[in-house]
Amino acid sequence: MNRCRLTIYYSGRVQGVGFRYTTKSVAAGYEVVGVVRNLADGRVELVVEGDREELEAFRRAIQDSEVGGLIRHEDAAWGTATGAFRGFVIGG
């Protein structure tokens, strides 16, 4: 299995609109683990690990969800999975 880490910073109207909860709900349909959290600068950070194809499908599902239209920009970076996560959670 090709396990990767995907980190995405979302900007736009992504706080106070249920973005994190929608992302957690979408994550339930994929074999991914990680965290989604609000940042002080108004962005949302998503750090997620799993198979690269699964992560790409999860990313598209977020874009296609009801909060996808609120995203103005996403800054994504790929890395090596660290195994630091157990499940998918909403962070502070």
pLDDT at 12: 96
CATH number (domain holding residue 70): 3.30.70.100
Tell whether the model's pLDDT for residue 92 goes beyond 90.
no
In this structure, what token pair is assigned to residue 78?
A: 């790929």
With 0.85 as the threshold, say if the pTM is over it.
Answer: yes
- What is the per-residue pLDDT across 53-89, written as a single tens digit (0 to 9) for each? 999 999 999 999 999 999 999 999 999 999 999 999 9
Question: Average pLDDT for residues 26-54, to the nearest whole number?
Answer: 97
Active site residues: 20, 38
In this structure, what token pair is assigned to residue 71?
A: 């995203």
User: Within a 10 A sphere around the Cβ of 25, how many other Cβ atoms?
Assistant: 13
Task: Output DSSP code: residue 41.
Answer: T
- The residue segments making up the domain with residue 21 are 3-90
